[in-house]
Amino acid sequence: MSVAVARPAVADDALLEIDAITLAFGGVKALDGVAFRVAEGSITSIIGPNGAGKTSLFNTISGFYRPASGSIRFEGRDITRVAAPKRAALGLARSFQNIALFRGMTVLDNIKLGRHCHLRTNVLDALVYFGRARREEIALRADIEQRVIDFLEIDHIRHAPVAALSYGLQKRVEMARALAMQPKVLMLDEPVAGMNREETEDMARFILDLRAEWGITVLMVEHDMGMVMDVSDHVVVLNFGQVIAEGAPSEVQNDPEVVRAYLGSGNVAELRDRLRAAAARSAA
């Protein structure tokens, strides 16, 4: 796949800063001193072999995991101890590696749930459905139908139950729900996993257009290296829970450490040394 990209100048000020994040499960370190910056208006991709810590990092940034040490700053504010729902309200939205939609609900109802963190309607307002509740519902539906649904080209399935959709369309609906949250940073966990070539190209186009037309900063975990190298401004490489390389796509794909992490060196003794080193870090 090849997508033409007009890359923006990377801003000096980071919108999201990850500083020396360490996360452990028992004696196993999933993340070990991870640090990088996400520039506003950029598409930043996190890559690495299976088990490198990518999804653990996403769960830490979005507030599902609390790190043992280190900090996360969003728009200059330390959000390391901020709960996940409040991070969503601040402008951090995400999709999931395994689709997390309500399969018995329609596409439209699933998408509308994404705006929940911004609604001010209380229980009484919702019960009587008058005044503020009705105005919010009308404004919410107009925004979702005129912007989000049209943008992702899913108008024809808005009333379909999610369970009846193909995998690729479900991925698109999950992105729509995240966009309904009006994010400043959209975090996509393997957005094209399991998709065919046409679906992958469509998703790549949507991601590029989000940055170009909506000004949304994208942070993405992805295994499709062709897509990553085509759309990314900055790539961060994880291995054994540590950042082993970062930079422009052209720099990262030629980095010897990155090649070794994915392909190995063929040296059995070196592999044993790396495994012993990883075990020692986990035991520390």
- pLDDT tens sequence across 149-159: 889 999 999 89
What pLDDT does 83 receive? 94
Average pLDDT over residues 163-185: 91
Domain ranges for the chain, please list them.
Answer: 1-91+183-284, 100-182
pLDDT band of 256, cuts 50, 70, 90: confident
Separation between Cα atoms, residue 54 and residue 58, nearest integer Å: 6
Cβ atoms of residues 95 and 187 within 8 Å: yes
**In the predicted model, is pLDDT for residue 278 greater than 70?**
no
Which is nearest to 191 in space by CA: 35, 11, 58, 5? 58
| Mean pLDDT estimate for the chain | 84
- pLDDT tens sequence across 86-115: 998 899 999 887 787 888 899 988 888 876
Number of neighbouring beta carbons within 10 Å of residue 226: 15
Interior CA angle at 127 toward 122 and 128, to 5°?
105
Which is nearest to 29 in space by CA: 270, 195, 240, 257? 240
Fold held by 100-182 = Rossmann fold (3.40.50)
Average pLDDT over residues 141-168: 87
Asked if 1-91+183-284 and 100-182 have one fold, the answer is yes
DSSP string, 236-281: EEEETTEEEEEE-HHHHTT-HHHHHHHH--S-HHHHHHHHHHHHHH
What pLDDT does 144 receive? 77
Cβ atoms of residues 278 and 240 within 8 Å: yes
pLDDT band of 131, cuts 50, 70, 90: low
Which of 72-86, 121-135, 149-163, 206-220 has the least mean pLDDT?
121-135
Which is nearest to 88 in space by CA: 217, 183, 7, 219? 183
> So what's the architecture of 1-91+183-284 in CATH?
3-Layer(aba) Sandwich (3.40)
DSSP string, the chain: ------PPPPPSSEEEEEEEEEEEETTEEEEEEEEEEEETT-EEEEE-STTSSHHHHHHHHTTSS--SEEEEEETTEE-TTS-HHHHHHHTEEE--SS----TTSBHHHHHHHTTGGG----HHHHHHT-THHHHHHHHHHHHIIIIIIHHTT-GGGTTSBGGGS-HHHHHHHHHHHHHTT--SEEEEESTTTT--HHHHHHHHHHHHHIIIII--EEEEE-S-HHHHHHH-SEEEEEETTEEEEEE-HHHHTT-HHHHHHHH--S-HHHHHHHHHHHHHHHH-
Q: What is the dihedral of CA 125, 126, 130, 131, to 10 degrees?
A: 50
Cβ atoms of residues 171 and 191 within 8 Å: yes
